[in-house]
Amino acid sequence: MNELKQKILFHEKELLNNEIRTSLEDLDRLIHEDFLEFGKSGGTWRKEDLMGEEGAGHIDVTVEGFDIRVLTSDTVQAIYQSKNNQTNEKANRCSIWKKEKDQWQMIFHQGTVAR
């Protein structure tokens, strides 16, 4: 389980890396075709919304308190808190990762402002 947790954490951090977030090739590799996100801002995004010229955009956040729950043999839920390094704002985060063809892809993500 520790190996799987490290793998999912690695992919979560990839999606927080601005170089990855602006690479359509990397986003295509990491984001599932049926991706849905409910952002902490209240917005909703699909994969096609992230595949434009700026990709998923620039952010400056770190991951805190990361853990996973195995839902099925090919589906994992990641749970953590993010900290915006510019505003110090924290958000509770939840992602669902699905493994298809030996590749983990994020199929769902939600962020909620932490109080």
- Report how far residue 27's alpha carbon sits from residue 24's, in angstroms, rounded to the nearest whole number: 5
Order across the sheet with 44-46: list the strands.
44-46, 31-38, 103-113, 90-100, 75-84, 61-72
Per-residue pLDDT, 54: 84
Provide the residue ranges of all domains of the chain, joining segments of one domain with +. Answer: 2-113
Instruction: Express each pLDDT in 56-82 by its tens digit.
Output: 888 899 999 999 999 999 999 999 999
Instruction: Express each pLDDT in 15-50 by its tens digit.
Output: 999 999 999 999 999 999 999 999 888 899 999 998
pTM: predicted TM-score of the whole model, two decimal places: 0.93
Span 2-113 CATH architecture: Roll (3.10)
